[in-house]
Amino acid sequence: MTAHAFAPVPHELLDPPRQRGRRFRRDGRPLPADLLYGRLLATAVQHALGGGPAPEATVRSADGSSAPLPLDRWLGPVDAADRAVLELADSPVLDLGCGPGRHLAALRHAGKPGLGVDLSPVAVWVARERGAEAVPGDIFTAVPDAGTWSTALLLDGNVGIGGAPAVLLRRTCQLLGPDGTALVELDAPGEPTYRTRVRLEAPGVVSEWFAWARVGVDGIGAPAERAGLRVGETLSAGGRWFARLHVR
């Protein structure tokens, strides 16, 4: 399913009660990251429907470097690299930080049931629009069917969630069944593993800083071991790198 098949994002998702009055701040203070992300994602959906310009958004790191926020790619269909890693997934699949659900939609098409979890209500709504099952929530709190999932996905850099890869992988291990595996996207060989802080930036608005991490394919072994996982095979596809981690 491509982005042009989406409906417009409901307005109430862009201004939830707990954030009401903070959506269009005029005082220059940063927005919560999940709120700004939802606004940008909704703008990208609207653009795909022919209703305005594409959002200009970047991810800024604490060292001053920045990279585009790839909303169009996340709203689009899976590419060859995605397909290569998803072939390794056994169902049922839990997508941690599922975003707008392109991986879940592809898995559903392949007959592999899955569930996504994401902090952003907008992302969850978009994922459901493309036929995926997804729920809003924090992966460190209540997750449905914890301890039973065959595969967990940490793709699109999501191994960086929370800025502590070993903690995140330990939580991932708790969510998997006894023979479960995690499919993790990593940086290329030779790239460093480190903790940082990042924020989202768009014209006239920024998000609050939040903890993040980058993990190179050479650096996944230590946090995986501390989390109760072992590194199996690694995969390179389309210039991207992945590893499959097994519950020990």
pLDDT tens profile 22-71: 444 445 689 999 999 999 999 999 998 888 899 999 999 999 999 999 99
Residue-level pLDDT at 49: 87
Does the structure show a pLDDT above 50 at 2?
A: no
User: What pLDDT does residue 58 have?
Assistant: 98
Residue 32 within a domain: no
How far, in Å, are 7, 8, 50, 206, 238 from residue 4 at the CA level? 8, 10, 8, 27, 25
Within-domain flag for 45: no
Residue found under tokens 């595969």: 151
CA distance 187 to 189: 7
The answer to whether position 238 is within a domain reads yes
Q: Specify if 17 maps to a domain.
A: no
Is residue 223 within 8 Å of 165, Cβ to Cβ? yes
Examine residue 119 and state whether it is found in any structural domain, yes or no.
yes
> Does a structural domain hold residue 1?
no
Report pTM: 0.91
153 phi, psi to nearest 5 deg: -105, 130
Cα→Cα distances 167→160, 216, 233, Å:
10, 17, 22
φ, ψ at 221 (rounded to 5°): -60, -45
pLDDT digits (tens, 9 = 90+) for 147-162: 999 999 999 999 999 9
Is 60 exceeded by the pLDDT of residue 20? Answer: no
Please say if the pLDDT value at position 6 is more than 90. Answer: no
Judging by beta carbons within 10 Å of its beta carbon (0-12, 13-18, 19+), is residue 225 exposed, middle or buried? middle
Per-residue pLDDT of 67-90, as tens digits, reads 999 999 999 999 999 999 999 999
**Is the per-residue pLDDT at 245 higher than 50?**
yes
Mean predicted confidence (pLDDT) in 193-213 = 97
Number of domains in the chain: 1
Over residues 85-116, the pLDDT tens digits come to 999 999 999 999 999 999 999 999 999 999 99
Q: What is the DSSP code (8-state) at residue 181? A: E
3 state SS of 205: strand
Whether residue 51 is contained in a domain is answered as no
Per DSSP, the three-state class of 12 is helix
Does the residue 91 lie in any domain?
Answer: yes
The whole-number pLDDT of residue 52 equals 86
> What is the extent of the structural domain holding 86?
72-247
CATH classification of the domain holding 129: 3.40.50.150
Q: For 157-187, write each residue's pLDDT tens digit.
A: 999 999 999 999 999 999 999 999 999 999 9
